[in-house]
Amino acid sequence: MSEAAKPKKRKRVNVRRPDVMTLVQEEVEKHFHSPIVEKLRESGGSLTIGKTTIRLAEQFGFCYGVERAIDLAYASRRVFPNQRIFLIGEIIHNPEVNRQLSDMDIVSLPWKELTEEYDDLTEDDVVIVPAFGAPTFFTEKIEKQGCHIIDTTCGDVMKVWRRVRTYAKSGVTSLIHGKRGHEETRATASRATGEDGKGHYLIVLTLEETEYVCNFIRNGGNSAEFLAKFDKAVSDDFDPQIHLKEIGVANQTTMLKSETEDIQRRVRLAIVDRDGNDENFQMFDTICGATQERQDALFDMLNKPMDLLLVVGGYNSSNTTHLVEIGNENLPTYFIREASCLESLETVVHFDIKKNSEVSAPNILSGFDKEKVTIGITAGASCPANLIEEAIVRVLALRGISRETIEKS
């Protein structure tokens, strides 16, 4: 194909027109708003009916970045009513939200690797980049295809990208605290190689992995063993003997804040032990503000007596999973996708994060059917208010309390 015949790169499309956004807000409100949740907020996050108390975390549910991504996705269909619209993977990690987009005929494309579906994209097509962002080779591909691009990448994620690009320019290896297969971490890693592709990164998830890296920093080790342990978690041509000399820490924005801070501390100490100072260590706080707020709000709520905790959200949501981890350390905690998981007073279907699967378990509520009970509820930044409302209504229904009673209380 000649240069003249190649598709032209399309600029990012701004769909946030006032006339469009007025209609979008009405539609989003209809799909995801909850009067019961708003009522709970206004009453200080607590509702008691008879012998049952519902306690809601001060911060929960949709954050600004998620709301913005959803608004842009809805707006794209209004601005392009008759064109094919595609989405790289999922807009956020919530099945209800992604179902709504599917009902609007927004088609999800594979996000783990470029497939032939990307070759079939045309200049008339619209492609939405999700809130997590996408690896550079994805965005370069859709630009090459000449598609209209709606970029919903969260601003907090882009802050991390700027940080790792700075590391790459300075010859500093990015140590990324995150899940190596997560969309956001993959997108960040692709930017950590820098504009010339010569930068390097290493992804660590656990403190055990961090200690292994710290031991290598202090004492050296077997490079082949290191690379085998961090398979698919390092940049091309990564050499631990060379690329652990200067390290800058960054993170997937939805990680547990305390764990990221622990990783930063351990890596810094390892470098100080090796070099006698921390001149070859850099760090920058890149935990998402909404993630931190929801974690802090849960810690605050746990200071009050509760019999159990429900965490509502998508099972593949990283920030929601960390709320479950916090809850599990303190009291019986159920990670539920939606209200239907609360099958009865005897049984609840929930996601076991250790087994990484949905399981059926005895419902602790069955032991309190005639006694006072306090139930805490929180949700990750990708969970809409209507799902939280449905969980509240279902819990109270199991306690013999109707929706009408809730609305009148």
Question: Are 351 and 386 within one domain?
Answer: yes
Residue 323 lies in a domain: yes
Which residues lie below 8 Å from residue 77, measured CB to CB, with a gap of 6+? 85, 104, 105, 106
d(CA 74, CA 22): 11
Q: Is residue 26 in some structural domain? A: no
- Tell me which of 103, 119, 153 is where a domain ends: 153
**pLDDT at residue number 366:** 77
Same domain for 86 and 53: no
Q: How many CA atoms lie within 13 A of 311 on its CB side?
A: 31
Query: In sequence order, what are the residues at sequence separation of 6 or more whose Cβ sits closer than 8 angstroms to the Cβ of residue 277?
Result: none
Residue 106 CA to residue 121 CA, distance in Å, equals: 14
235 C-beta neighbours (distance < 10 Å), count: 21
Max CA distance (Å), the chain: 78
pLDDT at 188: 97
pLDDT score of 9: 60
Asked if residue 252 and residue 181 are part of one domain, the reply reads: yes
- Do residue 179 and residue 275 come from a single domain? yes
For residue 3, tell me if it sits in a domain.
no
Same domain, 339 and 248: no
Task: Please indicate, yes or no, if residue 279 is contained in any of the structural domains.
Answer: yes
- Report which of 163, 183, 234 is spatially closest to residue 204, judged by C-alpha positions: 234
Domain at 88, CATH number? 3.40.50.11270
Going by C-alpha positions, the residue among 218, 280, 282 that lies closest to residue 249 is 282
State the residue range of the domain holding 160. 156-287
Express each pLDDT in 274-297 by its tens digit: 999 999 999 987 778 888 899 999
Q: Average pLDDT over the chain, rounded to whole?
A: 93
Instruction: Report the number of distinct structural domains present in the chain.
Output: 3
Q: The sheet that has 52-56: what strands, in order across it?
A: 46-49, 52-56, 373-379, 308-312, 333-336
Does residue 274 share a domain with residue 230? Answer: yes
Q: Are residues 282 and 326 in the same domain?
A: no
What is the predicted pLDDT for the residue at 346? 87
Q: Which of 287, 304, 329 is the last residue of a domain?
A: 287
Q: Same domain for 283 and 317?
A: no
Asked if residues 108 and 117 have their Cβ atoms less than 8 Å apart, the reply is: no
3-state secondary structure 48-105: EECCEEEEECCCCCCCHHHHHHHHHHHHHHHHCCCCCEEEECCCCCCHHHHHHHHHCC
Residue 43: CB partners within 8 Å, gap ≥ 6? none
Residue 7 belongs to some domain of the structure: no
Last residue of a domain, one of 252, 287, 322: 287
pLDDT for the residue numbered 3: 47
The residues facing 336 across adjacent strands are: 312
The whole-number pLDDT of residue 57 equals 96
Q: What CATH number has the domain bearing residue 185?
A: 3.40.1010.20
Answer yes or no: do 243 and 354 share one domain.
no
Tell whether 206 and 223 lie within a shared domain.
Answer: yes
d(CA 228, CA 222): 10
φ/ψ of 204, rounded to 5, equals -125, 145
For the chain, the residue count is: 409
With a cut of 50, list the residues of the chain below it in pLDDT: 1-5
Does one domain contain both 163 and 279? yes
Q: What is the pLDDT of residue 98?
A: 94
Active site residue: 27, 184, 246, 390, which one?
A: 184
Residue 218 lies in a domain: yes
Residue 249 lies in a domain: yes
Catalytic residue flag (residue 329): no
Q: Are residues 96 and 49 in the same domain?
A: no
The contacts of residue 222 (CB under 8 Å, 6+ apart) are none
